[in-house]
Structure 1
Amino acid sequence: MSRIAGLALLLAAGAAHAEDPASMLVRVSEAAREVNYEGVVVYQGQNRLETLKVVHGFRDGVELERVEALTGAPREIVKRDGKVICLLPRDRKFTLDRPTPKGLFPTLTPERVAQLAAVYDFKSIGSARIAGRSCEGMAITPRDGFRYGYQIWADAQTHVPLKVNLIARDGRVLEQMMFTEVRFPEEIVDTRFDEALAEYEERKAVAAAEAQQRLEQARQAGWRFGPLPPGFRVTTRSLRQTADGRGIVEHVVLTDGLTAISVFSTQRHETSAPVLQGESRMGAMHAFGRVMGQVHITVVGEAPEETVRLIGESVQFPEGVVPIDAPTLEDAPRTSP
């Protein structure tokens, strides 16, 4: 599912009330994490239409979520506080130690919302009836051309978003998430959560030790950013092995608090396959590739092409430094948030 669903869970609710945007978004962040709900979601974007069954719960201070694809190949995702386990056909399993697309957004404090207000404008866009429930709409409109906008309709009672549109600068709907059925039980108890989460915990200790070793290698890379588009800053830096096991993927995430952009670096070899250079687009996703000597930079994100390109062009390496391996465009996971 696209990162747009993650925006829905953290920003949509609260639009129904005539209160200032800061209060609305802070209240939305808390409600989106702590409300129990389950239903059927339709996602449309990038020439793709998917139907998903979603179960979301909150118990003992921990957010739990299970997403099952009702169309296409059988697959499920179980999430615990941003960590996800993908359950594939024939019982093949693997873990991803990164936020699921639905959970890329951090908890929104008044300070974070104040930062968002510097680059986004918030306003009410009226009411609508979605999945049989009364909803109020809210538009999040960028103040410049460096990011996309959003239209969000939140349930009037629970503040859970039931419909979210990702909006291009020309007003086109790039992606859409909408509930067709939804209910809000007081408690969600599902033992199927526990089996997948237990396996995740067993692997986490091993993964943590490996990640620490790779982190020591990454510290030698030393690459940095020059001037970035207004509002963007580095939030995370992570590492993983390449598919052939011979290198390390370095992944840096930048965000303005709403839009997330991923940057990857790789050292090219004489036998390396062709890599992305210049700009590329896949639906709402823009990518930019750049070769600097033996280093290949890939920038990927749901943002206007100018934003992705400027971030790629801002990457700088100190003289004599060669960074560690990173993926080409085909290997790069979607960002986001």
Structure 2
Amino acid sequence: MSRSSHQAAYHGVVTLQRGEDMQVMQISHSVSGGSTSEQLTKLTGQGARIVREDHPLDCVHTGHRLLQLGAALGAGECGVAEYYRFDVSEGERIAGRQAVRIRVEPLDMYRYGYLMELDRETGLLLKSSTLGRGDLVLERFQFANLSYGSPMPSSADVEVTHEVLGHPLPDSAMSAEDLQGGWSVDWLPRGFVLTEAESATASGRRTFTDGLAAFSVFLEPLSREIRSGEGIAREGSTLSYTRGLSLGGQPVLVTVIGEVPVNTARMVADSVRWAR
């Protein structure tokens, strides 16, 4: 699944459901020479188009590397199976393709579960449901139609937004020692590793992933203290958690945004410290 999402050329229409909200998008992923390009066009709402160009084919980001253990399996490493339980069964038919179903159950309370349907032939992810407590579906992604090969023709005129795709440390995940000064996150759920960090010492972002889920931590120094409390907003499986803290006498605003339960975000925010 991890390899096919990057290496296969395909195009189709997908739906993304978050609660009562349903978005329809057209996606085209092409492979040419040693690079890939991707175009995502929203077909509902105000519409927008995001274009990612010239992503090196041999660039494997940290999340994918955590899934692609390869030879490490022979050395006894379990990878994400240390944090999730996997069950494989016969899947349904999605977008005209026969699928294999993978149920992913978290082994702790700090992450969500997933129900995935993969193309039996290519391994491409055809459908994915993010599951909260009690198997509540928080978010569902699904191909409505899918074709492999040449890119999909352009859709109706929409606003075009070009996204610059960065490639932080393509060969290895970052460690806390890679950060010179500034601040750090002292507690993470098992299996999450640092993948990206801004270099600013007093503010910036840290991004973490376990291969399936990801979240970012933002820190903003404040000119004055704010009233104690926390702010929580959810959209599907994505949570935004914000609270004010005092670090070494400096009032700061800490925000955690990502695909984790609120208790995880709260514990991560509480562990933010000035780096020693």
Cα deviation, 1:196-222, whole Å, max 9, x if unaligned, reads: xxx878x99xxxxxxxxxxxxx9452x
Does the aligned pair in 2 maintain the 1:126–1:136 contact within 8 Å?
yes
Please state how far the C-alpha of 1:228 moved relative to its aligned partner: 2.5
1:225 aligned onto 2:185: yes
1:147 aligned onto 2:147: no
After TM superposition, where is structure 1 displaced by more than 4 Å over at least 4 residues in a row?
189-192
The equivalent of 2:259 in structure 1 is: 302
Does the aligned pair in 1 maintain the 2:62–2:211 contact within 8 Å?
no
What TM-score results when the alignment is normalised by the length of structure 2? 0.76
Query: Counterpart of 1:295 in structure 2: which amino acid?
Result: V
Counterparts of 1:105 and 1:81, CA distance in 2: 19
Task: Say if 1:62 and 1:114 are closer, same or farther in 2 by CA, change over 3 A.
Answer: farther
Query: Counterpart of 2:232 in structure 1: which amino acid?
Result: S
Does the aligned pair in 2 maintain the 1:165–1:177 contact within 8 Å?
yes
Counterparts of 2:83 and 2:259, CA distance in 1: 16
Please state how far the C-alpha of 1:52 moved relative to its aligned partner: 0.6
Task: Identify which of 211, 220, 238 aligns with 2:198.
Answer: 238
Percent identity over the alignment is 26
The equivalent of 2:33 in structure 1 is: 60
**Corresponding residue SS for 1:170:** helix
- Provide the alpha-carbon RMSD of the alignment: 3.3
Task: Identify which of 118, 121, 133 aligns with 2:82.
Answer: 118
Aligned residues: 243
The equivalent of 2:24 in structure 1 is: 51
Task: Say if 1:299 and 1:276 are closer, same or farther in 2 by CA, change over 3 A.
Answer: farther
The equivalent of 2:47 in structure 1 is: 74
**Corresponding residue SS for 1:54:** strand
Point out the structure with the larger helix share: 1
Task: Identify which of 236, 245, 251 aligns with 1:291.
Answer: 245
1:260 aligned onto 2:214: yes
Does the aligned pair in 2 maintain the 1:249–1:264 contact within 8 Å?
yes
The equivalent of 1:281 in structure 2 is: 233
Counterparts of 1:257 and 1:291, CA distance in 2: 29
Structure 1 gap segments, 5+ residues each = 1-27, 84-102, 193-198, 205-217, 241-246, 320-337
Query: Counterpart of 1:78 in structure 2: which amino acid?
Result: V
Cα deviation, 1:213-262, whole Å, max 9, x if unaligned, reads: xxxxx9452x123233222222210268xxxxxx9850101222222121
What TM-score results when the alignment is normalised by the length of structure 1? 0.63
Matches for 1:33-44 after TM superposition, within 5 Å: 33-44=6-17
Does the aligned pair in 2 maintain the 1:276–1:298 contact within 8 Å?
no
**Corresponding residue SS for 1:116:** helix
**Corresponding residue SS for 2:3:** helix
Structure 2 gap segments, 5+ residues each = 156-161, 167-178
Counterparts of 2:88 and 2:103, CA distance in 1: 6
